[in-house]
Amino acid sequence: MPVSQQVLDEIALSRAEYEAIVERLGREPAPLELGMFGALWSEHCGYKHTKPLIRQLPHKSNRLLVAPGAENAGVVDIGDGLAVAMKIESHNHPSAVEPFQGAATGVGGIVRDIFAMGARPIALLNSLRFGPPDEPRNRHLLHGVVGGISAYGNCIGVPDVGGEIYFDRCYSGNPLVNAMCVGLIEGSRVISARAKAPGDLLLLVGADTGRDGIHGASGLASRAFEEQAEMRSAVQVGNPFLEKVLIEACLEVIRLPGVVGMQDLGAAGLTSAAVEMAGRSGLGLQLDVASVPRREEGMTPYEVMLSESQERMLLAVTPGHEGPVVALFKKWDLDAAVIGEFTPGDKARISDGKRRLIETPIRTLTEAPEYRLDAPKPRWLSDLQEFDFTSLPMPRQSPADVLLALLASPNIASRLAVFRQYDHYVQNNTVVAPGAGDAAVLRMKGTRKGIAVCVDGNGRLAYLDPFAGSMIAVAEACRNLSCVGAEPVALTDGLNFGNPEKPDVQYQLVQSLRGIGEAAEGLGVPVVSGNASLYNETRGQAIYPTPIIGALGIFDDVTKHAASAFKHSGDLILLLGALTPWAPPEALAGSEYLSAIHGKVAGQPRLDMELERRVQLACRQMVRAGLVSSAHDCSDGGLTVAVAESAVQGGLGATMDGTVPARWDAALFGESQSRIIISAPEANLPGLRRIASEAGAPLGAIGRAGGDRLRFGNLVDLPLSSAGDAWRNGFARATSG
């Protein structure tokens, strides 16, 4: 009998997809099969709308050890026998329902992706989006998410070293919680999520299985979020203390003979982990749900297979070697149970003791349909892009008051109130802490090497032009690395979009992936991993298209790095990337000034990729040569905000001479791309000019650091203390209620 529409809605399968399943099987699916198809064909697991686009991203690199999608995370060689695993994941809808547990288990999941590769997790980052903080529910979500991130990361002993938080009305019903983790592999020994041969045993280790998280991948993460729906049962509950033990046990067990593969249990639980592990291995699977340790009575096979209980891993172990593996986990007070084995052929056979439940081709389960997206550019977008900035009225506030308002904006002000909740010095590798530089910097103990990591994205810019906005996200993430002196070597992308069945979102997806690919190609940095989170909308209202870019850079000598604070009174302030400091009116496109002061989101974002490449190259060379005291990119708020941030952080004022153009709002607060503020002793100017000239990057002196005031041309003259109060306390004031 055909399944009801209510059941299909519950597992987020369309009627056409159900009919395709029936056609492929040649029969109606059993209830357990249907639940497994719902999970594996979900957007969250199957990537139905994004796979064809993701395949087009550049991923070739002589540093690449694991290709995107082949395993749990991407892995790149950083030299000296070291490799780094990296990935970003989203936990958006769970965090909207239960912000603390949603964010905490997002951290737990991304950490498992990393140590599943045999890498020790060494750093966490996060990218967060919420609705306006003057609304109580948005503050509740913010504080819950930050609490969940800090509680989980602090308990497992992995430092949270950076991130970003932005607020906009489009995220009120659908916050974004993207977590990134990087891990270190010594000896470049990568663990695969595959079995080696038929007969290899399947061991489930870690926590017992409960009823939490059922339908998390299909029902919660793969359809539009509706606030009135009761979805708390689809949100997992985490235990960070158990995860810490699991990390240590798994990193120890991979040194035992016979351990050939490891896979985390995340979205869709056993279904995804076991079936996809068999699919990667080119093998079949025999799994007995009766052998799965449980923490609740009366669980059905359906619940066991679809549970998303946290802190669980699967191991593939050669027969005869399971005894030492079980003993090792027992030493760590963890369960380890043989629940099945890999078999010849292509069948997933699930049984409950002696009772066979299903026998299904693995290829049918794992090969979700792929949808081609070809929607045209919407008319409304052209209208926004053609906005006439000469018609924009000048603000009633003075330039100084506008600067203070922007410095206090929750989208710009210091995130110290958040960062102080994270332990960013645990493991004793952090060289540049969160907020002190444009990217976090970590040392690799025992070597001179180091890495830099950051996350970046701007939903407003991607909304105005998905192609250019996504290019800018890649460019700024790499620019942040270049500002601290690191060479960008790898990217991971978190793709947060609305309902892909709608033409506008389809257009955004296609253009955004094209922009990411073109920028990554232009900067010569591969995309090594990522995550797609679609259906981010509530009551028909989609979020801005929000591609988040995580970036990894490396140092041959980690002592040669830069931070963003001015250091020395009398240092020159230079602008790398332009000869004149004043931005043109069109640079207000998608700017924080335009949104915060005028309540508008309009304009056409632009990026000159060749200029971007040259500017970043010059900045890295200047930092490595030891010629700069500080480096900080111009982004939200434009040049004046960037200078003010460096001044406040360093406790040194700044003076910029020259007459500001009549359109002072654009000149001061326009967000032209490819610009970096550098401070340096005047004696270093010849060397800086030589590097800039050889790189083909514009460089101009625009002022000097020192004193206790901020002066910008003939328009702004205010005490540094006033700017410092606005920037240091603006976020806490805006989010305290």
pLDDT value for 232 = 47
**Segment 363-412, tens digit of pLDDT:** 999 999 999 999 999 999 999 999 999 999 999 999 999 999 999 999 99
At 51, the amino acid letter reads K
Whole-structure pTM over 0.75, yes or no? yes
CA distance 404 to 721: 11
Q: Which percentage of the chain shows pLDDT scores above 70?
A: 97
User: Which residue in the block uniquely carries the two structure tokens 């069109």?
Assistant: 586
CA distance 716 to 151: 42
**Segment 176-219, tens digit of pLDDT:** 999 999 999 998 689 999 999 999 999 999 999 998 878 655 54
- Kindly state the average pLDDT of the residues 117-145: 97
What are the residue ranges spanned by the domains of the chain? 1-41+191-366, 400-427+562-737
In the predicted model, what is the mean pLDDT of the chain?
A: 94
Are β-strands 487-496 and 527-533 bridged in parallel, bridged antiparallel, or unpaired?
parallel
178 near 145, Cβ under 8 Å?
no
CATH for 1-41+191-366 (3.40.50.300, 3.40.800.10, 3.90.650.10, 3.40.50.1460): 3.90.650.10
Closest of 486, 456, 654 to residue 567, by C-alpha = 654
Tokens of 737: 């209620």
At 28, the amino acid letter reads E
- Kindly state the average pLDDT of the residues 655-676: 94
Q: Do domains 1-41+191-366 and 400-427+562-737 have the same CATH topology?
A: yes
CA distance 186 to 250: 15
- Kindly state the average pLDDT of the residues 554-576: 98
pLDDT value for 571 = 98
Residue 295 pLDDT exceeds 60: yes
Residue 229 pLDDT exceeds 70: no
- Kindly state the average pLDDT of the residues 590-618: 98
**CATH 3.90.650.10 holds for 400-427+562-737:** yes
pLDDT value for 228 = 46
Q: Which residues of 432-445 are buried (b: 16+ CB within 10 A; e: fewer)?
A: bbbbbbbbbbbbbe
**Segment 32-64, tens digit of pLDDT:** 999 999 999 999 899 999 999 999 999 999 999
679 near 563, Cβ under 8 Å?
no
**Segment 470-520, tens digit of pLDDT:** 999 999 999 999 999 999 999 999 999 999 999 999 999 999 999 999 999
Residue 358 pLDDT exceeds 80: yes
pLDDT value for 267 = 85
Percentages helix, strand, coil for the chain, rounded to the nearest 5? 40, 25, 35
Catalytic residue numbers, as ranges: 44, 91
pLDDT value for 230 = 46
- Kindly state the average pLDDT of the residues 224-238: 59
